[in-house]
Amino acid sequence: MIRYDDTNDTSILQYAKKLEGKSFSEVVKESNKYLNEDGDSVLHEDKAEYYSDTKSKGSLGHLIEEYYFGYDINSNQEADFSKTGLELKVIPLKEVRNKISVKERVVITIINYDTIIDEPFENSHVVGKLSSILMVFYLHDGSGEKLNYRIKNVYHYTVPYEDYLIIKRDYDLIAEKVRAGKAHELSEGDTLFLGACTKGANKSALRTQPNNDVLAMQRAFSLKISYMNYVYSNYVTRKSAPPEKIIKDSTQLLEKSFEEIVLEMLVDYYGKSKSELLDMLGLSYEKEPKNILTIIIYRILGVKTNLAEEFAKANIDVKTIRLNDKNKINEHMSFPTFKFTEIVNQDWTESDLHNIFNEKKFLFVVFEIGSDNEYRLKKALFWNMPMDTLNGPVQDTWQAAKTVVENGLVLKNHGSRTTNNFPSASYNRICHVRPHAQNKDDVYPMPDGTFYTKQSFWLDKSYILKIINGCDK
DNA sequence: GCATGATCATGC
DNA sequence: GCATGATCATGC
């Protein structure tokens, strides 16, 4: 029985749309594929375990291929719907505090370090596999009962032209890094939409690389979680008005990288004071908001809110940094609080802190105070954390914090003040733990049932200073 | 002046 | 009410 025309994307999508609302066990049941003696469809006995085992991650995709679209599972590099070049991706969503977001990056294909150095993007497997994707989103409810997970949305994604141009540059950057013998230094934060994510049975799956004897972690091209979240919330479900783009004319991306364009937009304003900038931008406030410098940056970039489409897709955060009259930074840089009860159950690579610095890129914008006591725009730069810092000092701090929570806090009284034994600012001058709360009664529970003031990880101001002075490597 | 603890301001 | 970015306050 032919249920769709496999030479026609519209027909495939129309048929696929009927998946919405079904659980995976319903898909099997309605497939009429393997019937038991009662005439019900069941999982083929050879594969029942594979499809229901929590550990076999790709299996829900295979289940859809086999039971819904009725073709054999292929692991070759051809497109799933080979006649139209359409790729199928079955993508988990998660729900946290009533908010649904994409659970994982979407892996496209393994990076072959040996061939990428000679293979232009246009001829690569990756461009073929991400240009046209049938995205099947299901809600991963965390129960582990995979077959009960329910499909929420089906969407035919085709890569927008401006995204294609950015993804091509991402590919070129990854290829260039491999060509330079730096495959072992690849990081997801290097690129904007197309990331080089680790891929393997364990995180230490190593491969050889050309132009360097150092082994590199196996990695795959993937659409970043931030990119997928943008796709989901703005293209698939369209819940709210999308943020504005910074790049209004996408042909600019033919000449320059996104980062170059952004930095050039800011260069014109270097040396200008806060009040001059407010004037130039036509802004005035009765009472200046605390994030005035961030507002200024977004307005320079031509965006009316403190959100930009490209920053959302690429997981870029704007951080303003103030230099005092001695050219030092006054404050360390804070990041979100962590939960004591979560950190004790997490491994480093799945921790929030690892995910932040592994995936995020920062636009650091430096303001310097002048003799007139006014801040002036000094410079701006993009930065993401190098792998050896992430898996060195930052991991050390995280591990030390985890150990403190595991073993129980040790508090000491010094007169009116009480100190704890979390890794403090003097720990390694890169990353430390400090309170981050409304006040000291704003607490999270400890594993032992006691409560302690919310804490977060901070980057040391002396480390930030090295970064903005270009001396962090 | 730094280290560390404590808190503010804004937006959702 | 809370998450998040940012800054203040005190003791040594």
Q: At A182, which amino acid appears?
A: K
> What does A364-395 look like in DSSP terms, one character per residue?
EEEEEE-TTS-EEEEEEEEE---HHHIIIIIH
Distance in Å from C12's C1' to A432's CA comes to: 20
Closest CA to A312 of A198, A154, A467, A163: A163
Give the C-alpha separation, A456 to A454, whole Å: 7
Hey, how many other C-beta atoms are within 10 angstroms of the C-beta on A53? Answer: 12
Amino acid at A311: F
The Å distance, CA of A23 to C1' of C1, is 35
8 Å CB contact between A121 and A224: no
CA-CA distance, A66 to A182, in Å (whole number)? Answer: 40
Q: Which nucleotide is nearest to A421 (CA to C1')?
A: B4
* Nucleotides in chain C with any atom closer than 7 Å to protein CB: 2-8, 10-12
pLDDT for the residue numbered A13? 94
Q: Return the DSSP state at A349.
A: G
CA distances from A411 to A3, A264, A341, A343, A421 (A): 68, 50, 19, 20, 7
Backbone angles phi, psi at A134, to 5 degrees: -85, 105
d(CA A276, CA A235): 39
Protein CA at A455 to nucleotide C1' at B7, angstroms: 13
Instruction: Give distance CA A251 / C1' B11 (Å).
Output: 35
Exposure string for A339-370, b = 16+ CB within 10 A, e = fewer = bbeebeebeeeebbbbebbbbbbbbbbbbbbe
Q: Report which of A233, A2, A13, A241 is spatially closest to residue A136, judged by C-alpha positions.
A: A13
Q: Are the C-beta atoms of residues A169 and A185 closer than 8 Å to each other?
A: no
Handedness of CA A336, A340, A341, A345 (dihedral sign): positive
Residue A447 to residue A343: CA distance in whole angstroms: 10
Q: Which residues touch strand C (CB under 7 A)?
A: A 290-291, 293-294, 317, 319-320, 322, 330-337, 414-417, 436-438, 454
Strand B protein footprint, C-beta under 7 A: A 287, 289-291, 305, 328, 332, 417-420, 422, 424-426, 432, 434-442, 453
Q: Assign residue A85 a region: left if phi > 0, alpha if psi is -120 to 50, beta otherwise? A: left
Q: Which two tokens stand for residue A355?
A: 């995910």
Q: Is the dihedral of CA A428, A434, A436, A442 positive or negative?
A: positive
* CA-closest candidate to residue A63, choices A152, A138, A153: A138
Mean pLDDT of residues grouped by 10 in chain A (473 residues)?
Answer: 82 94 90 70 67 71 87 62 89 85 92 95 93 94 86 95 95 96 92 90 77 92 93 86 89 95 94 90 80 89 88 91 87 91 91 91 90 87 92 94 91 78 91 91 90 93 90 60
For residue A288, which nucleotide's C1' is closest to its Cα?
B9
> Whole-model pTM?
0.91
Protein-proximal positions, strand B, CB < 7 A: 2-12
- A436-CA/C7-C1' distance, Å: 12
Give first-to-last CA distance, chain A, whole Å.
62
Q: Could you tell me if residue A422 is left (phi over 0), alpha (psi between -120 and 50 degrees) or otherwise beta?
A: beta
Distance in Å from B6's C1' to A228's CA comes to 38
A86 phi and psi angles, rounded to 5 deg? -85, 135
Distance A97 CA to B11 C1' (A): 17
> What is the CA A404 to C1' C3 distance in angstroms?
24
Pairing of strands A431-435, A219-223: unpaired
**Which nucleotide is closest, CA of A326 to its C1'?**
B1
Q: Which of A452, A241, A227 is nearest to A361 (CA)?
A: A227
Distance of C1' in C2 from CA in A162, Å = 36
Q: Give the residue nearest to nucleotide C10 (CA to C1').
A: A417
Name the pairing type of β-strands A455-459 and A431-435. antiparallel
Closest protein CA to C1' of nucleotide C12, residue: A414
The residue behind tokens 């000491």 is A412
Q: Is the backbone of residue A240 left (phi > 0), alpha (psi -120 to 50) or beta? A: beta
Residues 6+ apart with CB under 8 A from A103: A91, A92, A93, A94, A140
Please state the φ and ψ torsions of residue A263, each to the nearest 5 degrees: -65, -35
- The pLDDT of residue A241 is 77
Three-state DSSP state, A291: coil
